[in-house]
Amino acid sequence: MASTAPHGLALLVLVAALPAAMSSCAGEDFPSGRSYVTCEDLPYLGASLHWTYDASGPSLSLAFVAAPAAPGGWVAWGINPTGSGMVGSQALVAFAGGAANSSAPAAVRTYNITGYSPLGDASTPIAFPATGLAADVGDGGKVRLYATLRLGKGLKKVVNHVWQVGSSVTRGAPDMHAMDADNLAAKGKLVLTDGAAASAPAPAGGSSSSGDGSGDGSSLRRPISPAAHTARVSVPEVVVLAVLGFLTMAWKDRWL
């Protein structure tokens, strides 16, 4: 039938395009040994966060992925335990080509962001002791920053986080980022427990009351996080669309 081929083609395009558009973070191909329970495409600056939350530390193992604003620039991510913006953030900054030497491997530093003054050329202590600081450069010049943070016991399960990208580094210090709308909007809430490591067997559907008995209901808060929610439902949606597409084609073939 003449009409079948265009429909089949449209369906293929649909099935191929949807997962990428809805959750590009899920396609990130990390080096072996680096894997995370969940990921979220962040709404600004083309960034994504991959993480595993271990409630027993508590600790957060993460990979932050973003392209610097220009080659040789920097990318940054942090938790702000005291506010919602940049000031107060306990930040991790990765330099695309080493901090002081553009041919050196990518480097990571920690910064306690205390104000709007320029950052220096050395790490400052942050509230969450960081281990495993590393970075590499992935597809399309994206810098992937890796770290494990030991979080305070009192830290809430939903935290304010910020992220940023900059275009240049001068004498080992990250230069100020652009002040475009997307740079200023790059902050949000992160539901740490969306990336909870499986520790105790839980009934299907993720009851919050099993395990250590803390039962804080954190898993019930998952819908707060729209991006993660989208990522989670995208595969079933695509399957439903694909099945509908096939049914439509079959129906047309048979009856038109």
Ligand X SMILES: *[C@@H]1O[C@H](CO)[C@@H](O)[C@H](O)[C@H]1NC(C)=O
Q: What are phi and psi of 222, to 5 degrees?
A: -55, -40
Q: Which amino acid is at 166?
A: G
Q: For ligand X, which is the closer residue by CB, 84 or 112? A: 112
Least Å from the CB of residue 120 to ligand X = 13
Rounded-to-integer distance, Cα 18 and Cα 12, Å: 10
Angle of CA points 221, 224, 226, to nearest 5°: 135
Q: For ligand X, which is the closer residue by CB, 127 or 184? A: 127
Rounded-to-integer distance, Cα 160 and Cα 158, Å: 7
Query: Position of tokens 């989670």?
Result: 232
Asked if 92 and 145 count as a contact pair (C-beta separation under 8 A), the reply is yes
Q: For ligand X, which is the closer residue by CB, 56 or 103? A: 103
Least Å from the CB of residue 82 to ligand X = 9
Least Å from the CB of residue 124 to ligand X = 7
Query: Position of tokens 């803390």?
Result: 214
Structure tokens of 80? 């702000």
Q: For ligand X, which is the closer residue by CB, 16 or 104? A: 104
List, in order, residues 6 or more apart from 38 with CB less than 8 Å away: 50, 51, 52, 194, 195, 228, 231
Least Å from the CB of residue 171 to ligand X = 13
Least Å from the CB of residue 113 to ligand X = 8
Note the residues at the interface with ligand X (CB under 6 A): 101, 103-104, 112, 114, 125-127
DSSP 122: S
Q: For ligand X, which is the closer residue by CB, 68 or 88? A: 88
